[in-house]
């Protein structure tokens, strides 16, 4: 299974490794104070999160929305603490904290010499999700990512995300990388719930009660390769402990167009969000793009 070498850990900045050595309980406390300040002092994207929740769950009254907002920001603080801890977590610690209920769906494909597409989302702790998958499988992982604008922040994030061997690929280069590696068995991991930047490349789907733009890339890659595609549903089971369950996006015998494929992914994601609303990222301006009809 994948593991991290001491040399790979040393490339991280000293300050991050120092923070990562702190017990999670201390990191949780510090992150909770930070998030309280963001939520109640600086009001960081509170209006965005509240509006997203209100429109996605019009049946919720004001009290329930406030409780959901508090739960969401509390979990956001936990994710911040856990991402800091990622700098020093070992492979065995990650396997203990991120359990995959049906890993055989991936392992069987890899054992048969076939690659697999994993469609993820900002559910649970999405940073631990990639690392938990990397340390639980023997196959190489090509993981798509959206580069940050700040060069230093982007470099730091890449170092963290590749600690356990994941190969990070800029999203706009993913199709080319996949095409070049058709003869190699591997896992292709895609965070597919972000906003597509190009107007020429958008699939519009009804999602959480609104017309929503999704990347067409996953559907196109699935059609081009014929790889088995699984939706990764990550749930929080306890503080610092998560569970991933894979669900097929395309059922046996089905043939989906890229548009129908995107709609199926959106349907699976919406089901996961409705099961635990605070488990998704609500401070993201997910619906800032106007639908084509507008």
Residue 286 sits at φ, ψ, to 5 deg, of -65, -30
Looking at residue 19, its pLDDT comes to: 96
pLDDT of residue 5: 40
Separation of alpha carbons 224 and 219, rounded Å: 9
Quick one: residue 157, left, alpha or beta (phi over 0 = left, psi -120 to 50 = alpha)? Answer: alpha
What's the confidence (pLDDT) of residue 21?
97
The DSSP-derived string for 184-198 is S--EEEEE--SPPS-
Q: Scanning the structure block, which residue is given the tokens 């790889």?
A: 227
The C-alpha atoms of residue 89 and residue 2 are separated, in whole angstroms, by 13
Q: Which residue has the tokens 């956001």?
A: 76
Q: 137: which 2 tokens?
A: 């499988």
Look at residue 142 in the predicted model and tell me its pLDDT. Answer: 96
The Cα diameter of the chain in Å comes to: 54
| Strand 141-145 with 167-170, pairing | parallel
CB atoms within 10 A of CB 181: 15
Which residues in the chain come in under a pLDDT of 50? Answer: 1-9
pLDDT tens column, 91-147: 999 999 999 999 999 999 999 999 999 999 999 999 999 999 999 998 999 999 988
pLDDT for position 2: 40
């Amino acid at each position: 299974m994948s593991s991290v070498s001491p040399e790979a850990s040393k490339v991280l900045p000293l300050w991050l490794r120092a923070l990562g050595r702190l017990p999670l309980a201390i990191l949780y406390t510090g992150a909770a104070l930070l998030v309280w300040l963001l939520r109640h002092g600086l009001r960081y994207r509170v209006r965005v999160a509240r509006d997203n929740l209100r429109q996605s769950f019009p049946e919720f009254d004001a009290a329930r929305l406030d409780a959901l907002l508090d739960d969401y920001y509390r979990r956001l603080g936990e994710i911040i603490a856990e991402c800091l801890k990622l700098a020093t977590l070992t492979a065995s610690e990650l396997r203990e904290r991120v359990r995959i209920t049906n890993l055989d769906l991936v392992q069987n494909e890899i054992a048969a010499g076939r690659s697999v597409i994993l469609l993820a989302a900002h559910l649970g702790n999405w940073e631990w999700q990639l690392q938990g998958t990397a340390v639980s499988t023997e196959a190489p992982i090509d993981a798509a990512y959206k580069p940050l604008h700040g060069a230093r922040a982007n470099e730091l994030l890449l170092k963290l995300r590749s600690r356990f061997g994941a190969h990070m690929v800029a999203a706009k280069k993913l199709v080319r990388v996949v095409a070049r590696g058709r003869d190699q068995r591997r896992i292709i991991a895609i965070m597919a719930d972000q906003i597509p930047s190009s107007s020429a490349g958008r699939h519009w789907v009804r999602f959480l009660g609104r017309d929503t733009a999704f990347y067409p890339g996953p559907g196109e890659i699935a059609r081009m390769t014929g790889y088995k595609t699984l939706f990764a549903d990550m749930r929080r089971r306890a503080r610092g402990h998560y569970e991933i369950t894979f669900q097929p996006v395309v059922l046996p015998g089905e043939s989906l167009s890229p548009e129908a494929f995107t709609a199926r992914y959106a349907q699976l994601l919406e089901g996961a969000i409705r099961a635990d609303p605070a488990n998704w990222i609500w401070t993201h301006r997910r619906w800032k793009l106007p639908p084509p009809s507008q």
